[in-house]
Amino acid sequence: IVKTTLGPRGMDKLIQVGNKVTISNDGATVISLLDIVHPAAGTLVDIAKSQDEMVGDGTTSVVVLAGELLKNIRGFIEDGMHPQIIIKGFKKSATMCVDKINEIAVKVDKKDEGKFEDLLLRCAKTALNSKLIAKQKDFFGKMAVDAIKHLDSDISLDLNMVGIKKVPGGSTTDSFIVEGVAFKKTFSYAGFEQAPKLFKDPEICLLNVELELKSESSNAEIRIEDPAKYQSIVDAEWKIIYGKLQAIVDSGAKIVLSKLPIGDLATQFFADRGVFCAGRVANEDLDRVAQATGGVIQTSLNDLNKKVLGRCGRFEERQVGSERFNVFTGCPETKTTTIILRGGAEQFIAETERSLHDALMVVKRTVEHASVVGGGGAIEMELSKHLRDYSRTVDTKQQLVIGAFAKAFEAIPRQLSHNAGFDATDVMNDLRTAHHQGKIWYGVDIDNEGVCDTMKAYVWEPSANKKNAIVAACEAACMILSVDETIKNPKAGNIDDQRRINPRG
């Protein structure tokens, strides 16, 4: 199923689960939506998810590689070769491949900002080549690079600091990036429209406190001797809520955000005093605002002071399509970005989000490791040649196993050619010849039906992507090989039923 999704000319899959329809060619997404029952196939699902979490791209490649490894050694198992010999050969091959990638990978100096940004842009475009938004790869590639560059690189590049919001309508190229935090306008009460919607250098109060009058419990009972005392009880409740609201205003905060509801009384109170408020803010959005502005989320208003308030350069409420967004920019503490995605169909926007996530992950890994290899099946062919040459120096059964590992790598360029509608046999012959002549970065030329130097054609992939894929595919194949018997534990009820039918059995 996933083989045909590989590469720039890979086909998309339409998967229906209940009433929900998903259109995607992302290997991890397709596999996670399939109802896979076989326990061994479940291992391939796990490595695809692992690749998606670790690197973001190459999910289809890792599944194809693992499947090809198992296919190539099937004959050895049937001929009686012990699985431990194969496992030893696979692990040796995987280690050699990782060492070879480290040896030939092209490293770029991070200090040369121009070259390094160009490297990131090329890697992002290569990741987007095989996606639904391939025609807009220049637009989204730059967006992914800008988002990652805006993060604080002194600490780990946390993708949670890159928010992605989806707004239906408009063109895909209407998508834009906000250098700060943006989230959709929350539910509002009467008085909200009277509040100001634009501030410069405001102080921000972040709360996990409910600011509305609660109705009494239906079974509450209060016994009073004098009816006049009832008014004092009501007044006490109002005094408490007004005390909370006045404490917030006195702190100097101009923007109040809370995870819990902010009622109509509080909304009108704040609006009359020129304060913007929003209740029921999503946890992830409030956490990003807290990290970006330096504010501390308060669960009580007893000790509200300047130290716990956040700050930003500018706040405004902005119209995006049919939605209104609260936008915080110029955040001083942690650098953060928000990407607003536009598009026609809901499925298309969802696939755009998945594609952009892959590009962000690839750029992140490239920033961390700053080394790339040629894509388009070039690195796979070079590793295949390297292993084949080494296998001829081995005089044990390992020679066959390492040769099988080498052959498995050829599945990637062959499938790339097949998916593009090329004659895979001719392309593979040309690639073998080129690599034998020492042209290590020759891969499949998708545009002109043939082979080309993918490094010069700017088809680049992070070396971490390939290393993770090889190790994960090898581990999955070894795990399946190490199982010699599958035992399915039947339900206890079935056992009892069988015993009733045949007590002696």
What confidence tens digit (pLDDT) does each residue in 228-237 have? 777 777 777 7
Residues 6+ apart with CB under 8 A from 414: 424, 427, 428
From 5, 22, 29, 60, the catalytic residue: 60
- Going by DSSP bridges, is the β-strand pair 13-17/20-24 parallel, antiparallel, or unpaired? antiparallel
Taking only the tens place, the pLDDT of each residue in 194-222 is 888 899 999 999 998 888 776 655 566 77
- Greater model confidence, 501 or 416: 416
- What's the one-letter identity of residue 499? R
Q: Give the side-chain half-sphere CA count within 13 A for 258.
A: 25
From 52, 285, 358, 445, the catalytic residue: 358
Active site residue 337: no
Taking only the tens place, the pLDDT of each residue in 316-345 is 998 888 888 999 988 877 678 889 988 877
- What's the one-letter identity of residue 11? M
Q: Of the candidates 102, 146, 139, 101, which has an alpha carbon nearest to the alpha carbon of residue 120?
A: 146
pLDDT bracket for residue 23 (50, 70, 90): confident
From 59, 337, 366, 454, the catalytic residue: 59
Q: Of the candidates 212, 220, 268, which has an alpha carbon nearest to the alpha carbon of residue 241?
A: 212
Taking residues 158-165, report their average pLDDT. 80
Active site residue 60: yes
Q: What is the pLDDT of residue 347?
A: 81
From 5, 22, 26, 186, the catalytic residue: 26
